[in-house]
Amino acid sequence: MKKTVLFLAVLLVTSASIAQTEPELKLNKETNLIEATYFHDNGEISQKGTFNMQKKLHGKWISYNEEGEKISIGNYTNGLKTGKWVFMSGDDKKEVEYSNNAIASVDGIKKKAPVVKN
């Protein structure tokens, strides 16, 4: 009996970890966009965003590092980067403005250090 329970537990853990690394795709009937979620090998979300029916990136996309922290946020229009994108690394942020899928401007932003009161 113990062997059966152990086998089922191992099988459950293995299937759960495999399911977490496979992409999730579903059609949002209201927006007519395909919502996609991709995963790192460790099961953390890698990217979330949407595709149009022509299978081109379209709409807001968010990327995450393997620890689950956001590393970029931006928009696509029919497969092209558009508008303001924000890239994060630790306390640093960079804003990149895209026009016709090309970089139009870059602005570096640093978070302010917390004020320490004595």
The ranges assigned to domains in the chain are: 2-110
**Considering the domain 2-110 in this protein, what is its CATH number?**
2.20.110
- For residue 21, name the pLDDT band (cuts at 50, 70, 90): confident
Distance (Å) of CA 28 to CA 23, 42, 61, 75: 16, 27, 15, 18
64 has a pLDDT exceeding 60: yes
The pLDDT value recorded for residue 48 is 98
15 has a pLDDT exceeding 80: no
111 has a pLDDT exceeding 80: no
For the chain, give the mean pLDDT. Answer: 82
| Amino acid at residue number 47 | Q
Comparing 56 with 18, the larger pLDDT belongs to 56
Model pLDDT for residues 90-109, shown as the tens digit of each residue:
889 999 999 888 898 998 66
